[in-house]
Amino acid sequence: MIHFVLLISRQGKVRLTKWYSPYSQKERTKVIRELSGVILARGPKLCNFVEWRGFKVVYKRYASLYFCMCIDQDDNELEILEIIHHYVEILDRYFGSVCELDLIFNFHKAYYILDELLIAGELQEPSKKTVARLIAAQDSLVETAKEQASSISNIIAQATK
Amino acid sequence: MSGPSLMDSLFQRTLEDLIKGLRQQLIGEQAFISKALEEIRKEIKSTDLSTKSTALLKLSYLSSLHFHDMAFASFHALEVLSSPRFSHKKIAYHAISLSFHDSTPVLLLITNHLRKDLTSTNEFEVSLSLQCLSRIANVDLARDLTPEIFTLLSSNKLYVRKRAVAVVLRVFEKYPDSVRVCFKRLVENLENYDPQILSAVVGVFCELACKDPRSYLPLAPEFYKILVDSKNNWVLIKVLKILAKLAPLEPRLAKRVVEPVCDHMRRTGAKSLLFECVRTVVTSLSEYDSAVRLAVGKVREFLVDEDPNLKYLGLQALSIVAPKHLWAVSENKEVVIKSLSDADPNIKIESLHLVMAMVSEHNVAEISRVLVNYALKADPEFCNEILNSILSTCSRNLYEIIVDFDWYVSLLGEMSRIPHCQKGEEIENQLIDIGLRVKEVRPELVRVARDLLIDPALLGNPFLHRVLSAAAWASGEYVEFSRNPLELMEALLQPRTSLLPPSIRAIYIQSAFKVLVFCLHTYLMQRESTTSSACPDNLPSGVSASVSYESFDGLSVENGGDAAVTHSLTSTSASMTDESIVNLLNLVEIALGPLLGSHDVEVQGRARNVLGFVDMTKLDLLNPSAQEDKGLERKGVEAYKTIELMHDAFSEELGPVSLTAQGKVPLPDGLMLKENLGDLEMICGDIELPSSNSFSFGSPYEEKVGVSFSNLQIKEDFEQSNESTSLLAEHRKRHGLYYLPSGKSEIISNDYPPANDPTSQGNVNDNSDDLAKLTEESLFPKKKPNHAKPRPVVVKLDEVDEKPIAMKKPEAKDDSLSGAVRDILLGSEDVIPTSSRSNLSGKPSSKRRGKEKQDTDPHVESKENLVDDGNPSSRRRKHHSHGKERRHKSPRKKNAEEREDNGQKEKEKSSHRHGRHKSRRRADELLNVSPQTPVIPDFLL
């Protein structure tokens, strides 16, 4: 299974973290510091796997972002690379040629998309189309709720409550 | 109240504002964040849910990317969770799954929220709560929500169902009893044709099977079917993983599976699936030669591929296959060796492992040569990786693969000279270990040690200090093999030794002491033989003195004889002249004099010992008048005896000592370990007496300064060692082998009556045998040195040395989860192990046991009743009869069940052969039928 997912920028800034195994806040910071040190130091034409504390970390760089996933020793590295690519494609589709800024300002959306893709550290939805559809459906749910909330009448109703 | 709330919600910073502000960094990141946190703390207390949820969202941003603790907001998150709005729920769930853990106090309050959402009609709400549950589930949550999960497992919304399936894994983990409820539905989902569901279920089983494969063996037919039918690579990879776990447990399954796996390997274009097939074959199907050949062929394609990922994985696959099929590695030797100079450190390390896997008795020399050359050129990290693997491979199993120890010792010397070498400690241990275990290698060891010691440049490298300490020790301990002890002395006392840390310096001094004693002894023997005619009186008195002390320890006659042999051997190469001895003593005085003021007690103490010894001998021996004046002859004899004494003490042979040796020494009567060491003196006096006797009795001139000095020193040694057995054990552990001489004699002197004092039993030639005997008698009931013909004897201590080799067998762990699964699948925990190992005839008894267990387990039944609307009693009857069928060979049949036997048997068979008809029924059947593990082959073959 996947133990955690990290998105780290080339400068070592964390853009997204998702933990499927229990890690305390302290451990999380430590893990990220350790791994970004290892991964960012690796050159461009090396393999995408790093052995780490008895686990394997599969990472791939897209533009300025490193997508890293930590998996068990006997998981399939190539499969994880495909999952990473899959995620990137979905993000790309959703944001329309995604860039780091999209993820910075819509960090929660990146989470929601990841949640559609993976659950409990397992791949959940291999179809890009389905994920896109599901995300759109939930977005519209959120939007209608927001419109309601921000409508003038609502504000007045609140103020005069 | 409403006023501020409105203002809050109108002028609240949104997440976007927060992120923008962070990026602008007008006031510095930390300051900005703490300001934002303050705002959040205020906003999150607001009664307006929108404000609250925005605050929560901002907080989870700061928590997940800037790692600020958000535990304080856990109750507020629950409040947001209760909002009817989906967008709020989403934020709340996100925050909760980010921050909650098992010990979060408000976890108790979330159960009802989750239950409400799990039963919601909005599939996205269900999905959110499932997602959250998968992350935060603890025992209570898992237990309380099991019924809801159970319902969702057969939800008609696929989206919900697949998530429920994935969450089941966590629920099982936390609350194994839920298996009894949910497992059946989970298995039903295995029958599902929807690829999403299938993928989720297979994923769950893959995780479950990793933990305890044996429990899932009864499901093998299902997995096999998926392997053959499925076209989905994600699913296939997971199924292959499961089968790779199951196949080693059931040879018939392996036989059945190997063909489809090979088919996939030939056909698939997806590298991930291909690699999974390869890995399955090399890990679990390695008995099938054709499959392995095919897999190795694919591995070769990986190896020559441009993609470093494939290369790396190829090397990994090779290292999995290496132990069983070494040919696979040798076939790809060129690629492997070439990868040693790859740009990627991971690939380099993998290929290094492979190269080491190829090492055998015959090629160890060549491979080590190649690797050392690589190490010379490699970067420091990889260089040490290489050295480490050479060291560990060669020392494996007590130097199993080393035939030519002379070569190996010189290789060790060479390795320590590699500039980046940081393996000093390991090399040190091996040098000493080999010195102790392999007698034949000692001359070469001394030569290597000399080369290391004599090079002043090496002293400047702190990583080498440990090696140098081993070299110093070896050259002192085995000085009789040295060609030129005087040169050694100079090396040991060279000025640059001041660069050494005190602990190692102390070893240097001690070795210098040994060399000095040796030189003096040689010199005396020489002088004796040349002056025996000139001064006939000198010799007899010397002999009589030594005899007088030998008479107390019968064996030292051999000792003296042996010393003479050594003397005659070495005298040719290193003859001692008066002048050289004077020089030697002067050198010692000059070099060690300044150390008398050393701050390190060990250094200071040892230096003082040596200097005291030098003072005495110099006065007595080299005073020309002493040699001529018969009035002073006594003094010469005195010094002679002292030297003889020291020489004997030092030529005591050392051998490896079991780590547990200390523990086997019975605590001497009356030994009390007290904190006040003053008290100890009295207690130790008793124990110490015999050993100190054996030295002091030999000297009729005990009152003389010199002897009493040396006596004192010896006494000190013994006192030290006797002070506390436990202290000594600890001490030895830390300082390893240097303390063997005193430790050794101490151990045995505690054990033996004074007459057998081992210090005098020592004999350079037979000593390892003696030691063996001694240890055999006192410490080890069985001990045989390994007598391999072509290579020198490596002394082994059975118990200790084999300890690391004898692996602890992993106990079949039987946690509650697998227990529950077995209960469900098999009705008993002990069925599967026997059934998979033994053949049919072995099964009936265990089957019956399993059945009986279930019969007496009403708990299971009641649980099933809770959830199963079918007719439990009929199911159970069926179950009985199936168990029965298996039992047809058992003499103890139960008549009541027999009548159903035939019809039931046929029914069962047919249901297995044509299981496709009714999936529902089939799944039912599976649960009940599965206890009959032997049924699997029926289906498979």
**pLDDT tens digits along A51-70:** 888 898 999 988 888 999 99
Q: Which of B173, B272, B302, B382 to mutate to test the interface with A (most CBs of A within 10 A)?
A: B272
Tell me the chain A residues in contact with residue B313 when contact means C-beta distances shorter than 8 Å.
77-78
Residue ranges per structural domain of chain A: 2-160
Which B residues in the span 334-393 are in contact with A, Cβ-Cβ below 8 Å? 343-347
From edge to edge, which strands make up the β-sheet containing A55-62?
A14-19, A2-9, A65-71, A55-62, A49-52
The answer to whether A101 contacts chain B (CB < 8 Å) is no
List the end-to-end C-alpha distance of chain B, in Å, as a whole number.
77
Which of B164-168, B778-782, B791-795, B883-887 has the weakest average pLDDT? B778-782
The answer to whether B10 contacts chain A (CB < 8 Å) is yes
For B643-684, write each residue's pLDDT tens digit.
777 777 777 776 667 777 777 777 777 766 655 666 656 666
Q: What is the pLDDT of residue B729?
A: 58
Which A residues in the span 115-144 are in contact with B, Cβ-Cβ below 8 Å? 115, 119-120, 122-127, 130, 134, 137-138, 141-142
Which B residues in the span 223-242 are in contact with A, Cβ-Cβ below 8 Å? 232, 234, 237, 241
pLDDT confidence tier of residue B624, bands split at 50, 70 and 90: low
B171 in Cβ contact with B205 (< 8 Å): no
Which of B39-43, B378-382, B457-461, B811-815 has the weakest average pLDDT? B811-815
Report the CATH fold assignment for A2-160.
Answer: Beta-Lactamase (3.30.450)
CA-to-CA distance for A25 and B71, rounded, in angstroms? Answer: 10
Once rounded to an integer, what is the mean pLDDT over residues A14-36? 86
Once rounded to an integer, what is the mean pLDDT over residues B268-283? 86
CA-to-CA distance for B352 and B369, rounded, in angstroms? Answer: 14
Distance in Å, alpha carbon of A12 to nearest chain B alpha carbon = 12
Q: From the list B162, B196, B313, which residue is nearest A77 (CB)? A: B313
Tell me the chain B residues in contact with residue A45 when contact means C-beta distances shorter than 8 Å.
308, 343-344
Residue of A nearest to B9 (CA): A155
- SS3 of B918-929: CHHHHHHHHHHH
For B848-881, write each residue's pLDDT tens digit.
444 444 444 444 444 444 444 444 444 444 444 4
Q: What is the pLDDT of residue B147?
A: 85
CA-to-CA distance for B868 and B863, rounded, in angstroms? Answer: 9
Contacts for B364 with CB less than 8 Å, ≥ 6 apart: B393, B394, B401, B402
For the cut 60, the answer to whether the pLDDT of residue B55 exceeds it is yes
B69 in Cβ contact with B34 (< 8 Å): no
Distance in Å, alpha carbon of A79 to nearest chain B alpha carbon = 5
Tokens found for residue B670: 């009356």
Q: What is the pLDDT of residue B631?
A: 45
For B559-610, write each residue's pLDDT tens digit.
433 444 444 444 444 466 777 888 888 888 888 888 888 888 888 888 888 8
Q: What is the pLDDT of residue B676?
A: 62
Tokens found for residue B255: 């036989």
CA-to-CA distance for B243 and B709, rounded, in angstroms? Answer: 75
Specify the amino acid at residue B647: H
Q: What is the pLDDT of residue B734?
A: 56
Q: Using the Cα atoms of residue A111, residue A117, residue A123 and residue A124 in order, give the sign of their dihedral.
A: positive
For the cut 80, the answer to whether the pLDDT of residue B553 exceeds it is no
CA nearest neighbour of B815 among B226, B212, B268: B212
What is the dihedral angle through the alpha carbons of B867, B868, B871, B872, rounded to the nearest 10 degrees?
-70
Q: Give the residue with greater pLDDT, B211 vs B568.
A: B211
The answer to whether A73 contacts chain B (CB < 8 Å) is no
The answer to whether A77 contacts chain B (CB < 8 Å) is yes
Tell me the chain A residues in contact with residue B200 when contact means C-beta distances shorter than 8 Å.
122, 124
- Using a cut of 0.90, tell me whether the model's pTM lies above it: no
Percent of chain B whose pLDDT exceeds 90: 0
CA-to-CA distance for B659 and B655, rounded, in angstroms? Answer: 12
Once rounded to an integer, what is the mean pLDDT over residues B486-506? 84
| Residues constituting chain B | 941
Q: What is the b/e burial string over B48-62, where b = at least 16 CB atoms within 10 angstroms of the residue's CB?
A: bbbbbbbbbbbbbbb
- Find the DSSP H helices in B736-855: 740-751, 758-761, 767-778, 798-802, 816-826, 831-837, 843-855
Residue of B nearest to A74 (CA): B241
Q: Give the residue with greater pLDDT, B433 vs B929.
A: B433
Put simply, the answer to whether B86 touches A48 (Cβ < 8 Å) is: no
Contacts for B167 with CB less than 8 Å, ≥ 6 apart: A119, A120, B130, B133, B134, B137, B149
CA-to-CA distance for B253 and B234, rounded, in angstroms? Answer: 22
Q: Give the residue with greater pLDDT, B85 vs B629.
A: B85
Distance in Å, alpha carbon of B62 to nearest chain A alpha carbon = 11
Which of A44-58, B214-228, B621-635, B706-720 has the weakest average pLDDT? B706-720
DSSP β-ladder status, A55-62 and A49-52: antiparallel
Percent of chain B whose pLDDT exceeds 70: 63
For B246-258, write each residue's pLDDT tens digit.
888 888 888 888 8
Q: What is the pLDDT of residue B227?
A: 85
CA-to-CA distance for B722 and B671, rounded, in angstroms? Answer: 10
Tell me the chain A residues in contact with residue B69 when contact means C-beta distances shorter than 8 Å.
25
Q: From the list A19, A20, A49, which residue is nearest B312 (CB)? A: A49
Distance in Å, alpha carbon of B153 to nearest chain A alpha carbon = 15
Put simply, the answer to whether A15 touches B124 (Cβ < 8 Å) is: no
pLDDT confidence tier of residue B746, bands split at 50, 70 and 90: very low
DSSP β-ladder status, A2-9 and A65-71: antiparallel
Q: What is the pLDDT of residue B843?
A: 39
Q: What is the mean pLDDT of chain B?
A: 69
The answer to whether B23 contacts chain A (CB < 8 Å) is yes
Residue of B nearest to A24 (CA): B101
Q: From the list B16, B63, B131, which residue is nearest A119 (CB)? A: B131
For the cut 70, the answer to whether the pLDDT of residue B885 exceeds it is no
The answer to whether B837 contacts chain A (CB < 8 Å) is no
Q: What is the pLDDT of residue B939?
A: 44
| Residues constituting chain A | 161
CA-to-CA distance for B22 and B252, rounded, in angstroms? Answer: 62
Number of A/B CB contacts below 8 angstroms equals: 154
For A128-159, write each residue's pLDDT tens digit.
788 888 888 888 877 776 676 666 666 666 66
Angle at B325 between CA B324 and CA B330, to 5 degrees: 140
CA-to-CA distance for B177 and A15, rounded, in angstroms? Answer: 39
For the cut 80, the answer to whether the pLDDT of residue A76 exceeds it is yes
Q: What is the pLDDT of residue B544?
A: 38
The answer to whether B170 contacts chain A (CB < 8 Å) is yes
pLDDT confidence tier of residue B11, bands split at 50, 70 and 90: low
Put simply, the answer to whether A79 touches B272 (Cβ < 8 Å) is: yes
Which A residues in the span 15-34 are in contact with B, Cβ-Cβ below 8 Å? 15-17, 19-20, 22, 24-25, 28-29
Helix (H) or strand (E) holding A61: strand A55-62
The pair phi, psi for residue B767, each rounded to 5°, is -60, -35
What is the dihedral angle through the alpha carbons of A121, A124, A128, A134, rounded to the nearest 10 degrees?
-110
Contacts for A37 with CB less than 8 Å, ≥ 6 apart: none
Once rounded to an integer, what is the mean pLDDT over residues B75-103? 84
Specify the amino acid at residue B766: D
What is the dihedral angle through the alpha carbons of B861, B865, B868, B872, rounded to the nearest 10 degrees?
60
The answer to whether A102 contacts chain B (CB < 8 Å) is no
Put simply, the answer to whether B87 touches A47 (Cβ < 8 Å) is: no
Tokens found for residue A91: 């993000």
For B497, which DSSP code?
Answer: G
The answer to whether A155 contacts chain B (CB < 8 Å) is yes
Q: What is the pLDDT of residue B324?
A: 81
For B685-739, write each residue's pLDDT tens digit.
655 444 433 333 333 333 333 334 444 444 444 444 444 455 555 655 555 544 4
Put simply, the answer to whether A158 touches B6 (Cβ < 8 Å) is: yes
Which A residues in the span 80-99 are in contact with B, Cβ-Cβ below 8 Å? 81-82
Q: From the list A14, A22, A126, which residue is nearest B65 (CB)? A: A14
